[in-house]
C-alpha cells in the first residue's frame, strides 16, 4: 500500500508539475503587499502635501491683498479689496483673519475715508464680510466700534459720493445686526436710517417730495436696513415703531421707483408679522385695497419686468396682511435644507446673501455664526466620498428637471387665459 501511495504521488507530481511552496515565494508575496501599501501611503502623503502647498499659496495671496490695500494706486487698492471680498465670501477664514483683523480694519477705514466711489463701496462690503467671518463676539465688536463712526459720517454727509452713501446704508445695517452689543445703540442707528427714508414719504397734503433716482435708492437701502434691525428689537419697541410708522409706510407704496415700492411692501408685511396680535390698525381695509392694486398692476407706463416683479411680491404681501400667511421657501445645501417660513427669516437671509452671494450655501453649511442665526446647529462633518454618493447623477437631474419643466408648462398653459392682469394686452 505504501509503495502504491508513493507511486501515486510521484505520478501526480510528474503529471501536474506541482512544486512545494517555498520561503522565497512567501517573501515575494510579502514584498508585493508592502510595495502596494507603501504606494498608497506615498500617494496619500503627496495629496496631503499638495493640499498644504495650495493652502500656503492661498494664504500668501491673501497677505499680498492685505498689503496692497494701502498701495498708492487706486486701481491696486480696488483689486486688493475685491480679492479679499471674493475670498471671504467663498471660504471660512476665521483663524487667518482673526490674527489680522485690526490690520484689515485699518485698511477698510483708510479706504472709506480717502477712497472715492467704487473703492468706498468695496471697503464697506468688505467690512460686512469681515464681521460675518468673525461672528458675533468681542472681535467683531472691536472692528465695528472703529468703523461705525465712519459709516455714519459718510451716510449723513449730503456732499459725499451717493454710491458710497448707498453702500454704507446697507453695510451699517448688517454690521449692526452682527456686531452691536448695546440695544440702545441699535435704536440710535435705526433713527439714523429713519432720518433718510422718511424723506420719501408723500406729504400730508398729497404732494410728492422731489427726489432723484440715486437718492431714492439710498432711501430704499436705509429702509431695508431699518427693517433688518427691526427683527432684533424688543416687543415694546416694536409697538412704539408701529404706532409711529405703520400709518405712514403705505405712502411709500405710491413711490415711482419699483424697488422702493417692493421694500415698503415687504417692510409692512414684516411689521404685521411682528405685531399682529398686539396692535390694532385702523386703516386695514384701505391698505389691503392698495396692496391688491399693486398685486394686479397693469399700468402701461411701467416696464413689464417691473410690473412682473412687483405683482409677484405684492401677492405675497397681501396674503401676509390679510391672512397672516407666508409663502415658504426651501433652501438646499449639501445634505441639509433650511425652510424660510417667515418675513423675519426672509429679511435676514436676503441681507446675508447680498454680501455673500453665490457662497451663501457654503456659509450655511460651514459658518458657525450664520448657522446659529438660522438655528441650524453645529456644522455637519461629511467626507467627500459620502457627499458624492448622496449626489444624484447628471442623467437623473436632467430627467427630473425635464419632468418638472413639463409639469410647470402644463400648469401655466391651463391658467394662462384666466390671469387677472390680461388687461395689459
Give the distance between the most distant pair of CA atoms in the chain: 129
Q: How many CB atoms lie within 10 A of CB 186?
A: 18
Rg (CA), the chain: 31
Q: How confident is the model at residue 417 (pLDDT cuts 50, 70, 90)?
A: low
- Tens of pLDDT, residue by residue over 230-289, are 999 998 999 999 999 988 999 999 898 999 999 999 999 999 999 876 777 777 888 999
**pLDDT of amino acid 42:** 60
Please give the model's pTM, rounded to 2 decimal places.
Answer: 0.79
Element (H, E) at 337: strand 336-340
At residue 100, the 3 state secondary structure works out as coil
pLDDT digits (tens, 9 = 90+) for 24-80: 444 554 445 555 555 555 655 665 677 788 888 999 999 999 999 999 999 999 999
Instruction: Report how far residue 250's alpha carbon sits from residue 7's, in angstroms, rounded to the nearest whole number.
Output: 111
CA distance 355 to 170: 10
Distances (CA, A) of 37 to 16, 28, 30, 45, 137: 34, 14, 11, 12, 47
Report how far apart the first and last C-alpha atoms of the chain are (Å, whole number).
Answer: 110
Decide: residue 383, CB within 10 A, 0-12 exposed, 13-18 middle, 19+ buried: exposed
Whether 340 and 328 have beta carbons less than 8 Å apart is answered as yes
C-alpha grid cell for residue 169? 446704508
- pLDDT single digits (tens) 162-207: 999 999 999 999 999 999 989 999 999 999 999 999 999 988 777 8
How many CA within 13 A on the CB side of residue 52? Answer: 6
Amino acid at each position: 500500500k505504501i509503495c502504491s501511495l508513493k507511486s501515486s504521488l510521484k505520478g501526480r507530481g510528474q503529471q501536474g508539475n506541482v512544486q512545494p511552496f517555498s520561503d522565497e515565494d512567501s517573501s515575494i508575496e510579502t514584498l508585493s503587499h508592502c510595495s502596494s501599501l507603501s504606494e498608497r501611503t506615498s500617494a496619500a502623503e503627496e495629496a496631503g502635501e499638495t493640499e498644504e502647498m495650495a493652502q500656503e499659496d492661498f494664504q500668501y495671496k491673501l497677505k499680498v491683498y492685505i498689503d496692497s490695500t494701502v498701495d498708492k494706486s487706486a486701481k491696486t487698492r480696488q483689486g486688493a479689496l475685491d480679492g479679499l471680498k471674493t475670498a471671504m465670501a467663498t471660504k471660512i477664514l476665521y483663524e487667518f483673519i482673526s490674527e489680522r483683523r485690526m490690520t484689515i480694519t485699518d485698511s477698510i477705514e483708510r479706504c472709506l475715508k480717502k477712497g472715492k466711489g467704487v473703492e468706498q463701496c468695496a471697503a464697506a462690503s468688505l467690512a460686512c464680510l469681515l464681521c460675518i467671518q468673525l461672528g458675533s463676539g468681542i472681535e467683531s465688536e472691536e472692528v465695528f466700534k472703529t468703523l461705525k463712526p465712519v459709516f455714519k459720517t459718510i451716510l449723513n454727509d449730503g456732499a459725499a459720493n451717493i454710491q458710497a452713501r448707498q453702500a454704507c446704508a446697507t453695510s451699517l445695517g448688517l454690521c449692526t445686526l452682527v456686531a452691536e452689543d448695546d440695544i440702545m445703540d441699535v435704536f440710535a442707528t435705526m433713527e439714523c436710517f429713519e432720518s433718510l427714508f422718511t424723506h420719501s414719504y408723500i406729504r400730508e397734503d398729497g404732494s410728492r417730495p422731489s427726489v432723484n433716482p440715486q437718492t431714492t435708492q439710498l432711501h430704499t437701502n436705509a429702509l431695508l436696513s431699518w427693517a433688518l434691525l427691526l427683527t432684533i428689537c424688543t416687543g415694546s419697541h416694536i409697538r412704539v415703531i408701529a404706532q409711529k410708522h405703520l400709518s405712514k409706510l403705505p405712502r411709500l407704496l405710491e413711490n415711482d421707483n419699483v424697488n422702493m415700492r417692493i421694500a415698503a411692501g415687504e417692510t409692512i408685511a414684516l411689521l404685521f408679522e411682528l405685531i399682529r396680535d398686539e396692535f390694532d390698525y385702523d386703516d386695514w381695509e384701505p391698505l389691503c385695497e392698495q396692496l391688491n392694486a399693486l398685486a394686479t398692476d397693469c399700468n402701461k407706463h411701467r416696464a413689464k419686468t417691473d410690473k412682473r416683479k412687483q405683482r409677484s411680491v405684492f401677492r405675497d404681501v397681501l396674503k401676509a396682511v390679510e391672512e397672516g400667511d407666508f409663502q415658504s421657501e426651501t433652501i438646499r445645501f449639501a445634505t441639509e435644507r433650511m425652510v424660510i417660513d417667515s418675513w423675519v427669516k426672509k429679511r435676514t437671509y436676503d441681507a446675508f446673501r447680498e454680501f455673500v452671494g453665490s457662497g451663501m450655501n457654503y456659509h450655511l453649511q460651514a459658518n458657525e455664526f450664520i448657522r446659529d442665526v438660522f438655528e441650524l446647529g453645529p456644522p455637519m462633518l461629511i467626507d467627500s466620498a459620502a457627499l458624492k454618493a448622496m449626489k444624484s447623477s447628471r442623467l437623473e437631474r436632467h430627467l427630473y428637471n425635464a419632468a418638472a419643466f413639463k409639469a410647470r408648462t402644463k400648469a401655466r398653459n391651463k391658467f394662462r387665459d384666466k390671469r387677472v392682469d390680461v388687461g395689459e394686452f
